[in-house]
Amino acid sequence: MKIDVRFSVEGLGDAELSGATAVVIDVLRATTSMVQALASGAKAIYPTASTEEAVKLLQSIGRDDTLLCGERRTRRIEGYHLGNSPSEFTAEVVAGKRLIMNTTNGTRAFLAAESADRVIAAAFNNLGAVTVAVAGVERLVIACAGRSGAFALEDTLCAGHLIRRLRAAGTDPLILTDGAIAAEALADAFPVGDTLASTAAGRDLAEAGLGDDVADCARFDVHSVVPELDDRVIRLPHGG
Ligand SMILES: O=C(O)[C@H](CS(=O)(=O)O)OP(=O)(O)O
Ligand SMILES: [Mg+2]
């Protein structure tokens, strides 16, 4: 298995993605929220690249059973039903609903990775399930959402833990690009909980009174769902 880790989705194109399985990671907080939402019974998540696109999509799919979710500078977008805190996506709120989502980094990352054969959402919360889901693939591109195009330690740490899990699972020999080697080394060097809290994104969340989100995002294997992008909609394969 060849594994590449991209620290942001800038410049990620068809050449790297075609024929590969892409795993999109945005630990703080988009993929953690997506995993929580689908584990809570949300029907589908529509990632959008802008608030304008989100509103247009709402008009086209209709408001029934549809919730607008997302953030700007960590806070819920005005007029949206939900922000981007994983704890908002409870079964009472999202079960059976379609979620139109727009966040600063994570939703765009999905759209940037869509030309891969498969596009999977990963976070610490569903890392074990993702490990099983990708164990047999030939080529894996781990696309870290990053933060406004820059390196995000939290995403790369999660990428490194995925590589460690694949190595422990005894899949065929791993051929790592330099980015993947660096990500795995980071996973060996940094404890997740403390590190997430010390990242720029973690500090901003704490400053916004959302420090509990950081703790939620640092938890391993709390869900066994593996969300996948299919024709620009993120769902659980076979209905979950
Ligand atoms: O919602 C989040 O925590 C972040 C906000 S920021 O870009 O880190 O300020 O957005 P996300 O798209 O989940 O990375
Ligand atoms: Mg993020």
Atom of ligand 1 nearest to the CA of 148: 7
- DSSP for residue 150: B
Q: Are the C-beta atoms of 226 and 236 separated by less than 8 Å?
A: yes
Domain at 2-235: CATH code: 3.90.1560.10
Model pTM?
A: 0.97
229 C-alpha vs ligand 2 centroid, how far in Å? 18
pLDDT in the model for residue 170: 87
Radius of gyration of the chain (CA): 16
The CA distance from 108 to 144, in Å, is: 11
Among all chains, which residue has been given the structure tokens 């919730």? Answer: 67
pLDDT in the model for residue 80: 97
pLDDT means per 10 residues, the chain with 240 residues, are: 95 92 98 98 97 96 95 97 98 98 97 97 98 96 96 98 95 92 96 96 98 98 98 87
Which-ligand-closest: CA of 32? 1
pLDDT in the model for residue 238: 77
Beta bridge partners of 4: 141
Sequence-separated (6 or more) residues with CB below 8 Å from residue 96: 41, 42, 43, 65
166 C-alpha vs ligand 2 centroid, how far in Å? 23
In 3D space, the residue among 90, 86, 91, 94 whose CA is nearest the CA of residue 68 turns out to be 94
Q: Are the C-beta atoms of 217 and 124 separated by less than 8 Å?
A: yes
Q: Please count the other Cβ atoms lying within 10 Å of the Cβ belonging to residue 172.
A: 10
Which residue lies with its CA nearest to atom 1 of ligand 1?
A: 74
Vertex 22, ends 59 and 81: CA angle to 5°?
Answer: 30
pLDDT in the model for residue 222: 98
| 178's tokens | 């330099």
Which-ligand-closest: CA of 29? 1
Sign of the dihedral defined by the CA atoms of residues 7, 108, 117, 160, in that order: positive
Atom of ligand 1 nearest to the CA of 103: 12
**Helix (H) or strand (E) run with residue 23 in it:** strand 21-25
pLDDT in the model for residue 239: 62
Reported ipTM: the value is: 0.98
DSSP three-state, residue 81:
coil
pLDDT per residue as tens digits for the range 81-106: 999 999 999 999 999 999 999 999 99
What residues line ligand 1, using a CB cutoff of 6 Å?
A: 26, 28-30, 71, 73-74, 84, 103-106, 145, 147, 201, 204-205
